[in-house]
Amino acid sequence: MKRLIVLTLLVISFISCKDDNKSSEEEAVVIQEKKEEVLAEGQQLFKGEFIYLTDAAVLTTKSEIYAVNIDEKMHELNEVAKALKQTDYDMVNVVIHGNLKPNPIKEELGEGWDQMVTITKIIEVTPATSANVIKTGKSLDIKEVK
């Protein structure tokens, strides 16, 4: 009887160890290390909100506002952004690689942002959250405002 119990415990322990190996292999496949992408010389990573209106493209980060060079990559980013916007004036969150240089329009005309970003690679585009907009759900008639 003791031999039967010991044999049963051994079989159960071997079976449970075998399953653990499979699950750890599956976890190893699922969990992959995120490799840091090396940027080319002069390029930077920019995270912020992007908007393009007729003749001006702007990237707003946490600490700076940049003009965006209007070229093929910017139009490619705008096409992706259009699908995520509800109105033409909505911004989208972007993560891009780009080159930073002085804004030539600011130098010529004296207006615009100090720095200009030329997009080299689009990493991510997501819809922006409207944290600054308060929606009450109540419509207000002009007659009520005095």
| pLDDT tens profile 110-146 | 888 999 999 999 999 998 876 455 555 544 444 444 4
pLDDT of 37: 62
- Do residues 89 and 51 lie in contact, with contact meaning Cβ atoms separated by under 8 Å? yes
In contact, 95 and 46? CB cutoff 8 Å: yes
Q: What is the rounded distance in angstroms from the CA atom of residue 84 to the CA atom of residue 125?
A: 9
More confident residue, 21 or 6: 6
3 state SS of 90:
coil
pLDDT tens for residues 60-106?
Answer: 999 999 999 999 999 999 999 998 988 888 999 999 999 999 999 88
| pLDDT tens-digit map of 31-47 | 444 445 677 788 899 99
So what's the pLDDT on residue 34?
A: 42
Q: What is the pLDDT of residue 121?
A: 93
Please report the pLDDT score of residue 112 as a whole number: 87
How confident is the model at residue 145, as a pLDDT? Answer: 41
The C-alpha atoms of residue 122 and residue 74 are separated, in whole angstroms, by 9
